[in-house]
A and B are shown apart, each in its own frame.
Chain A
Amino acid sequence: MRSLRESCIRHGLLTSASISILTSFGILFILIKESLPFFEDVSPWEFLTGTNWAPLMVPRDYGVIPLVVGTLLVTGVAALIVIPVGSLAAMYLSEYASSRARRILKPTLEVLAGIPTVVYGYFAITVVTPALRAVIPGVEVFNALSAGIVVAVMIIPTVASLSDDAMRSVPNALREAAFGLGATQKEVTVGVVYPGAISGVMAAYVLAIGRALGETMIVTMAAGSTPLLTLNPLDSVQTMTGYIVQVSLGDTPAGTPGYMSIFAVGLLLFVITLSLNLFRIWIQRRYVRYDT
């Protein structure tokens, strides 16, 4: 009787654990299945190398590069902000803050991570964009810079909190060794703790960049919907996620190449974030780990 119950529990737990894995495979399967008809009309080569994205107009054009560059532009702006700010915040939390300051700051930071992205989107168009337009001439109403800044704000808590965890896992013996040699707090933090935590810190960066790549609401609201091929962050761009939203909400009839293109774009985004995550796992295995 007991063994039956144990076996039920065991299988119940296994099922729960399987759900997310099976869902991931299901998503991948749907993405591939739905994008196959698209790739019958448009060659993958044309899709991946074309520099004009106009799937809803005539003549149609399916070069995905403007969307990829738009995504990378927003992500790049976010990364340029989040890597220094998140790292410095983590250094403060882990090495400088008193235990009291830490007890208050760390949970506060983690609350920030729970704000709905639509709120961040409003923040971008009502605060950040007007501020940018007041300071920098030539900023469009919708622009990659504003979206990138707000995406960075959204992921700073992730980077700060995960990097803080990684730095705190560096054994105290290494800090003592460095202080014992007459190093300053800054030298210990930058020269010993940060490099000692590098695998965890890099993993935090990559995780955050992955979130920036897949971020949808902020970029849809703030970056615009013009798939222009540009590297100027003051211009309006469209990201891969932004395009998928636009078509999903619009009146593009199902079954047309324009509609099916969202699966191809989704598949490409999936491949990019998957490679990023594999890269993260590789980094985490590559560097020193402390088991103490």
Chain B
Amino acid sequence: MKNPVIPRTVLEARNLSIHYGDSAAVSGVSLKIPEREVLAIIGPSGCGKSTLLRSFNRMNDFIDSCRFEGELLFEGVNIYGPNIDPVELRQRIGMVFQRPNPFPKSIRANITWAPRMAGYLGDYDELVERTLREAALWDESKDKLDKSALSLSGGQQQRLCIARSLAMSPEVLLMDEPCSALDPIATGKIEELIRGLREQYTVVIVTHNLQQAGRISDRTAFMYQGDLIEIDQTDRLFTQPAKKKTEDYITGRFG
């Protein structure tokens, strides 16, 4: 019998609390996210799941009133510690947002813009093709790479935004309800894409949609009013939740 491989931890929160002014958005959350896991974070609106997600690549830095306690480790290093450059951090932890937000530039330029800024030395045509393929958008866009990204449909724009993030070769991809502005067909394509990303990337996805969490994630975390109530294998959390709160939420008793 071989020993089971214990996956390396990529992200770890230790007793993490986040406040906006006087109100706590996240209180005392601890969790570990291993390499190449798809972790879904679910919970009712305002439970702190987006705030938690955005703390992983310091996107909360732009909110003046946001205060932070505890530790958040990326590859074992506290990302809120001294000598951490948030710019470099965000190159390694990419983010896809709720609404598709492509730049008003060509499809190609959307993908090459950030690598160019970061001084990418490889072949740009190859980069564009590879990332568009990874984001399952190549066939639809290969003939119009120089057209404006805004000419794409909403679902295509969101896949372009994913391709754009992948172009920075991030280790982790954070997704903040990436399908909430999309129709079911576009949502299906993105879900399929996320399942494929697991091969190479660690994905943390915030979602409102419980079925979506069930379909795409390895583990699911349930948050309620800033607390992490439960985190477990997705099938177990949905079939035999350990906590009453979780059971009430997934059976639709509140939400």
Contact = CB atoms under 8 A, between A and B. Distances in A.
A29 interface: no
Nearest to A198: B104
A213 to B, nearest CB: 31
A180 B94 contact: yes
B101 A183 contact: no
Interface in A170-216: 171, 173-174, 176-184, 187, 191-192, 195-196
User: Which of B57, B88, B90 lies at the interface centre, i.e. has the most chain A CB atoms within 10 A of its CB?
Assistant: B90
A22 interface: no
B208 to A, nearest CB: 19
A288 interface: yes
Given A187-B117, A288-B150, A180 B104 contact: no
Contacts of B108: none
Interface in A221-269: none
Interface in A267-292: 288
Contact of B165 (A174, A180, A191, A195): A180
B241 to A, nearest CB: 32
Interface residues of A, number: 18
B249 interface: no
Contacts of B89: 182
Contacts of B90: 179-182
Nearest to A173: B101
Interface string B145-185: 00000100000000001001100100000000000000000
A182 B101 contact: no
B97 A181 contact: no
A180 B57 CA distance: 8
A196 B104 contact: yes
Contacts of B161: 177
A118 B253 CA distance: 73
A244 B105 CA distance: 47
Most buried by B among A181, A195, A196: A181
Interface in B120-159: 150
A63 B182 CA distance: 65
A176 to B, nearest CB: 6
A180 B164 CA distance: 10
Contact of A182 (B91, B99, B105): B91
Nearest to B61: A179
Given A182-B118, A191-B117, A177 B103 contact: yes
B62 interface: yes
Interface string B69-103: 00000000000000000011111101101010111
A179 B59 contact: yes
Nearest to A182: B91
Nearest to B101: A173
Given A182-B91, A182-B118, 12 more contacts: A173-B97, A174-B101, A174-B103, A174-B104, A176-B95, A177-B103, A177-B161, A179-B62, A180-B59, A182-B89, A182-B168, A192-B103
Interface of B: 57, 59, 62, 87-92, 94-95, 97, 99, 101-105, 113-114, 117-118, 150, 161, 164-165, 168
